[in-house]
Structure 1
Amino acid sequence: MSLTTSAFGFIVFLLSTPVVQGQNDWGVTYTSTQICAVEGSTVDIHSYTYPSRQDDLDIIVEKTLWFINMLDNEPVDLRTDSKYSGRVKHLCDKNSCFLRITDLRQRDSAVYRFRFITNHPGGRFTGSPGVTLTVTDLKVKVIQTSYSSYWTTLRCKSSCHLPGQTSIIWYKNNKKIKENTELHYSDYIYSQDSFSCAIKGLEDFPSPPVCVRGENCNRVIYTERSICVSKGSSVNISCTYNSYHEVTSKFWFRPEPQWKNPSQSEDLLTDSQYTGRVQVLETERGRSTLRITDLRETDSAQYQFTFTTWSFEWGSSLPGTTLTVTALQVHVIRLTVHQSYTEAELQCHSSCSSVAQSFYVWFKNGQKVMKEEALYKDNFYPGDVICCVLKGHENHCSPSVSALKVPSVSVSPQSEIMEGSSVTLTCNSEAQSAVNYTWYKKNQTLLNKEPQLVFSSIQSSDSGQFYCSAENELGKKTSPYININVKHRPNLPSVSVSPSEIVEGSSVTLTCSSDANPAANYTWYKGNQTIHHGPEGIYRFTSIRSKDKGTYYCKSENQYGDKSSSISVDVHYRPNLPSVSVSPSEIVEGSSVTLTCSSDANPAANYTWYKENEESPKASGQIFTITDIRSEHSGNYYCEVQNSVGRHNNTLHLTVVAVFPQALKSAVIGTSSVVFFAILAFLIFLLIRKKKASKPAEPPEPSEQHIPTQSEEEDDVQYASVRFIKNQTDPIYSNISAARAQRHKDEDEDESVEYAAVQFNSTASRTTGQEAVEDSIALYSTINKLC
């Protein structure tokens, strides 16, 4: 065993050989069975062991406790003993469990035992006989020197061994003078001086003052260092005092600076807060008693006594008597909760051991219960209020406990709750005792543990059902649900189109949704035209058309506001019948010809050119160009237009015809226009003569002889139009429309032949007129005659 000091007080560590009390692996290991500690210090007492497994069962410790007393053959846990209140800690870690007692008092001297209970049927063990703790105070020992009665050595002693390095503080006439292990005086010690000592860190537990010379020195000795009493009771705080000279004044006071009022005297007899409650009694010489009645919790303090003489004043460096005033408490020992009532056993408890054996009075709903014991067992219904008092102090009932009612829930404000506003929910159980409140949201965890649930800026997501619970010593009650409905204008609508790819002729649905309270009405627009309005934000096209594509707007609205969103609708359709064309309209063999194809489609179409009866495409794209066209290029060409929806095609017929032989071409090209018309007139003349020669000859009548005019001759024959194309070198093909040559009629019918346009190309070479005539006669076999 050794003693050490710290800023928090003395701690006693046990260093002696451990003592095992037990058998068959069950036992308690006490570090020491004998402990001696100084008053005010702290002591630690250790520990226990048990097997990890026995009888095929893993051993689990379910309860551990330290005790000194037994009640009904059961140990009383020190943690529930009032005289140890606030001074006992029970610390466990695996197989190590120790008891720590702080602020040791001499009355703490006792035998301490440890008990543990496991899940094994026989797994209970108490370490006996336990640990004997002895708590002692300090004393000043006077050692006189042999050579002079005026030289004295003072030592601070204890029945417990103090280590050599312990720091001691010395006091003279209750005033601190120095810090040293021993006290030697070289100065003269007067008979009126008294001395006391204290261990550094434990200054609240000094030794009693000692007169070094005789017994008539100045000193004050308090009867008790600490007193604990219940609220409403009375207390006597006493001391004995002695003065070397005659006392001129004396009084009791509270030394705390925060208590003193500069305008008031320190004497408690003149303190307004004690008026009518304080008196000082001195029934014998040298003994003073301070009596305080109708104690309040604010009376908890340290009280000191002081006196003065004509040349001396008693100091106040060391403490006097500490008074603790506590209220009685109702503790629930056993509790059984039924549907309509609670069965409970209550105990009237005080943290002061001095009132442990007192008589108590119980009150239920303000009526005295005919029972004067610390324990009270009864059935309690919702709303019952119970408290206890010390007998004779019925005006100072303990804080009451209540059998809780089902808590009610209120909401503020009671009007409509708008998003962003402040909302407060309040839980009230109408209990007169302390109640713990907890707030919950349905199907969620707890929200807080306060009587009120406050939303500083409530949101729509906070809507839902809420409830609270109220709990105290006599049980727990839960409130009904309260519905919180947060009103707000519509949020920005979410718009969608289904299906994602829209094909002309298909069914299409536009959907608009928006969170709103109350529910929103929806309006669909295209441009300035309203196409839908109602409580549902759905608009359907049963068979959508390409003209329906565009931007659509949805507006959601309620009485608090509106919001709008838009969506683009794109209608896909297969290509329309393509339009095909050829350029130029008149084609010359060897020239460049362009075929063009166009079609309306969504998405944009791909174009492919084919020649009939050929598998491979001729070209891709809208334009197909033949750079050097020949007669073999004649035929049907078709353009195919295709996109993801479908396809379409259209056909173009192209005919390429060869031009005149080279000899005729030279004659035609070389003859001027004048020569050509002359030859043509000659041919017409020959034809007319031949026609006339075929008729029978009749002698002309001189008087009726008629010479035909030129206009009359022209009425008999209609010629095809003749076109000349200049500056065309080596024409091969001509663009021929879908018109076809008519077959010759029967020989008995008038000859009638319709020609297509005949093209003559002139070149640089020229021929004679006669050659041109011969070539023309050889080339044309018939001339269209019109009747």
Structure 2
Amino acid sequence: MRGAAMSLTAASSGFVVLLLTVPVIQGQRDWRVFYSRTHICASKGSTVEIHCSYRYPSITNGYYTKVEETFWFTKSINDAPLDLRTDSDYRGRVEYNCRTWIICTLTIRDLRESDSAEYKFRFTTNQGGKYTGEPGVTLSVTDLQVLVERSSTQTELKCHSSCKAADRPSYVWYKNGLKMKEETFSLRVSANDDNSYSCALKGHEDHRSPPVYAPKLLTVSVSPSGEIVEGSSVTLTCSSDANPAANYTWYKENDRKLPSQQPQLFFFSSIQPSESGEYYCTAENEMGRRTSAHVFIDVKYAPKLLSVSVSPSGEIVEGSSVNLTCSSDANPAANYTWYKENEDSPKASGQIFTITDLRPEHSGNYYCEAQNTRGRRNSTLNLTVVAGKSVLMINIIRLTLVVLMLIPLVVLSLWTRKKKTLSLNSEPNEAVKMMEVDSCPGYENSTTAAQTQEPEEQEDLV
């Protein structure tokens, strides 16, 4: 016959399942073992106590019978039952408490899922008798978990246990760590509920299931941290505390979805400047969906695509001005320095180099050097200064002005010379005239004619 009774007692390591024996008689004649229920369910991490009692004949073959050994086992080696106290899987976690040679208690602490097995009691006597209680007690150690079934309007939570239905366990639910009134197998909540939920076997409230909740504390980390250099390998990691585990999706700015072989990771084997930008991830499980903050990836690289130009373009004429411009693609931004070929000292700094009042000696090769923390590049430009029409016209105008300024001086000089000459010639002529007139009256007309012709000759001289 069989019978069983169960009561719960508290132990320092957790709730204890205490099995009080009601006779379950197995064996022949007076050899008997008494077990409780054939199945027991206990939570992972808790402590269980299994009691048994046994009976044997007091006299065997005319001699008093005495029990010499008692122990519990789950497996045998070479058909010899292995005492749990010597089983490495139970080392330090089992204890026997056998009293009055008729009651023996097995205590197992810190239950593990691997402890799920059939436990049997065995005893031997001084008359060579050996007896094992068959069948034993089946222990099911459950690691509770909350299963989630989500629809568009609500989410159903189910407290899952590996215990068999015959045990008919009762459950207790917790919301954000606080006990709820419901003691049912399942619980319904609204879709995208932000609260956390867990469950426990009634009577084992200290051993709750891990809580379930939508992804929270969603973060994106970058490795290596610090400056990211062109060509290096970079890994982005998306992590959250979601339970059940979340599914991750990666995006780049403007919600462009990115493919990833490892959803929680996004890997650049040789990152390029074109891959700079904002990245973020989403985590989603049956309880809801979350989006991480954006992380900016800034790829640093040395100056490239360096070019130099001159403005205005075309023929560079002497006396004009030009701007030499240097440009490049660089991150961080480059600093620019200008040099002239065969000259050691720089001519200027900055992206634009201005030269005014060009002369032939300004002709030559100029080169620009672009430099940042990642490297440097340079590019050369040839500058040729020519004499243009405007310069010739300026020279002609200058010469014309000089000539025009000299003409009045020449005229003034000649006029002064004429005046002086006329002044010197007028006095002797007057004297001669008077003498001729006085001595030769007949020549008066001829002298007058000579005088009238003299001014014309002088005009010709001018």
**Secondary structure of the corresponding residue to residue 490 of structure 1:** strand
- Inter-partner Cα distance in structure 1 for 2:180 and 2:291: 30
Mark the CA change 1:344 to 1:382 in structure 2 (over 3 Å): closer, same or farther. Answer: closer
- Percent identity, aligned pairs only, is 40
Contact 2:276 2:297 in 1 (8 A): yes
**Secondary structure of the corresponding residue to residue 208 of structure 2:** coil
The CA deviation at 1:532 is: 6.2
Match of 1:633 in 2: none
| Equivalent of residue 332 in structure 1, options 144, 148, 151 | 148
- Inter-partner Cα distance in structure 2 for 1:372 and 1:320: 31
The superposition leaves residues 410-468 of structure 1 with CA deviations (integer Å, 9 ceiling, x where unpaired) of 66898x63538998866554557644555544435155757677889987566321212
Match of 1:375 in 2: 186
Mark the CA change 1:353 to 1:515 in structure 2 (over 3 Å): closer, same or farther. Answer: farther
| Equivalent of residue 306 in structure 2, options 494, 516, 531 | 494
- Inter-partner Cα distance in structure 2 for 1:524 and 1:379: 69
The CA deviation at 1:409 is: 4.4
The CA deviation at 1:515 is: 3.8
- Inter-partner Cα distance in structure 1 for 2:166 and 2:236: 43
- The normalised TM-score by structure 2 is 0.51
Matches of residues 263-342 of structure 1 in structure 2 within 5 Å? 265-266=85-86, 272-274=92-94, 290=106, 292=108, 295-297=111-113, 299-300=115-116, 303=119, 305-309=121-125, 323-336=139-152
Mark the CA change 1:411 to 1:355 in structure 2 (over 3 Å): closer, same or farther. Answer: farther
| Equivalent of residue 208 in structure 2, options 397, 402, 408 | 397
The superposition leaves residues 208-267 of structure 1 with CA deviations (integer Å, 9 ceiling, x where unpaired) of xxx9xxx78x9999999997654348585989999999653121135599xxxxxx9428
Letter in 1 for 2:258: T
Matches of residues 756-775 of structure 1 in structure 2 within 5 Å? none
- Inter-partner Cα distance in structure 1 for 2:40 and 2:270: 53
Mark the CA change 1:431 to 1:323 in structure 2 (over 3 Å): closer, same or farther. Answer: same
The answer to whether residue 277 in structure 2 is matched with residue 467 in structure 1 is no
Match of 1:362 in 2: 173
Letter in 2 for 1:329: Q
Matches of residues 132-531 of structure 1 in structure 2 within 5 Å? 230-231=43-44, 232=46, 234=48, 248-253=68-73, 255=75, 265-266=85-86, 272-274=92-94, 290=106, 292=108, 295-297=111-113, 299-300=115-116, 303=119, 305-309=121-125, 323-336=139-152, 343-354=154-165, 357-379=168-190, 383-405=194-216, 407-409=218-220, 417=227, 419=229, 427=238, 429=240, 434-435=245-246, 437=248, 439-442=250-253, 443=256, 445-447=258-260, 449=262, 463-486=276-299, 488=300, 490-492=302-304, 494-495=306-307, 513-527=327-341, 528=343
- Inter-partner Cα distance in structure 2 for 1:404 and 1:379: 16
- Inter-partner Cα distance in structure 1 for 2:39 and 2:217: 44
Mark the CA change 1:227 to 1:496 in structure 2 (over 3 Å): closer, same or farther. Answer: farther
- Equivalenced residue count is 332
- Note the aligned Cα RMSD (angstroms): 5.9
Letter in 2 for 1:516: A
Matches of residues 607-756 of structure 1 in structure 2 within 5 Å? none
- Inter-partner Cα distance in structure 1 for 2:274 and 2:127: 80
Letter in 1 for 2:293: P
The CA deviation at 1:518 is: 2.4
Letter in 2 for 1:490: A
- Mark the runs of 5 or more structure 1 residues left unpaired by the alignment: 1-210, 258-263, 338-342, 574-787
Contact 2:68 2:124 in 1 (8 A): yes
Mark the CA change 1:510 to 1:369 in structure 2 (over 3 Å): closer, same or farther. Answer: same
The CA deviation at 1:280 is: 6.9
Contact 2:193 2:287 in 1 (8 A): no
Match of 1:566 in 2: 379
Match of 1:534 in 2: 350
Mark the CA change 1:225 to 1:366 in structure 2 (over 3 Å): closer, same or farther. Answer: closer
- Inter-partner Cα distance in structure 1 for 2:194 and 2:239: 13
Mark the CA change 1:224 to 1:360 in structure 2 (over 3 Å): closer, same or farther. Answer: closer
Match of 2:411 in 1: none
Mark the CA change 1:357 to 1:223 in structure 2 (over 3 Å): closer, same or farther. Answer: closer
The CA deviation at 1:370 is: 1.5
Letter in 1 for 2:337: T
The CA deviation at 1:566 is: 3.4
Contact 2:51 2:105 in 1 (8 A): yes
Letter in 1 for 2:187: Y
The superposition leaves residues 743-770 of structure 1 with CA deviations (integer Å, 9 ceiling, x where unpaired) of xxxxxxxxxxxxxxxxxxxxxxxxxxxx
**Secondary structure of the corresponding residue to residue 272 of structure 1:** coil
Mark the CA change 1:377 to 1:265 in structure 2 (over 3 Å): closer, same or farther. Answer: closer
Mark the CA change 1:393 to 1:532 in structure 2 (over 3 Å): closer, same or farther. Answer: same
Letter in 1 for 2:92: S
- Inter-partner Cα distance in structure 2 for 1:256 and 1:441: 60
The CA deviation at 1:308 is: 4.0
Contact 1:223 1:240 in 2 (8 A): no
Letter in 1 for 2:370: S
The CA deviation at 1:348 is: 1.2
**Secondary structure of the corresponding residue to residue 402 of structure 1:** coil
Match of 2:390 in 1: none
Structure with the bigger percentage of helix:
2
- Inter-partner Cα distance in structure 2 for 1:540 and 1:256: 97
| Equivalent of residue 369 in structure 2, options 526, 531, 555 | 555
- Inter-partner Cα distance in structure 2 for 1:283 and 1:308: 11
**Secondary structure of the corresponding residue to residue 401 of structure 1:** coil
**Secondary structure of the corresponding residue to residue 466 of structure 1:** strand
- Inter-partner Cα distance in structure 2 for 1:227 and 1:473: 32
The CA deviation at 1:472 is: 3.0
- Inter-partner Cα distance in structure 1 for 2:129 and 2:234: 65
- Inter-partner Cα distance in structure 2 for 1:328 and 1:393: 11
Q: Which 10-residue stretch deviates more, 376-385 or 288-297?
A: 288-297
- Mark the runs of 5 or more structure 2 residues left unpaired by the alignment: 1-26, 78-83, 387-462
The CA deviation at 1:477 is: 0.9
**Secondary structure of the corresponding residue to residue 371 of structure 1:** coil
The superposition leaves residues 591-648 of structure 1 with CA deviations (integer Å, 9 ceiling, x where unpaired) of xxxxxxxxxxxxxxxxxxxxxxxxxxxxxxxxxxxxxxxxxxxxxxxxxxxxxxxxxx
- Inter-partner Cα distance in structure 1 for 2:364 and 2:39: 92
Mark the CA change 1:241 to 1:441 in structure 2 (over 3 Å): closer, same or farther. Answer: farther
Letter in 1 for 2:302: P
The CA deviation at 1:376 is: 0.8
User: Comparing both chains, which one has the higher relative contact order based on Cα–Cα distances under 8 Å and sequence gaps of 6 or more?
Assistant: 2
Mark the CA change 1:505 to 1:359 in structure 2 (over 3 Å): closer, same or farther. Answer: same
Mark the CA change 1:497 to 1:376 in structure 2 (over 3 Å): closer, same or farther. Answer: same
The CA deviation at 1:346 is: 1.1
- Inter-partner Cα distance in structure 1 for 2:107 and 2:185: 27
The CA deviation at 1:401 is: 0.4
- Inter-partner Cα distance in structure 2 for 1:445 and 1:327: 37
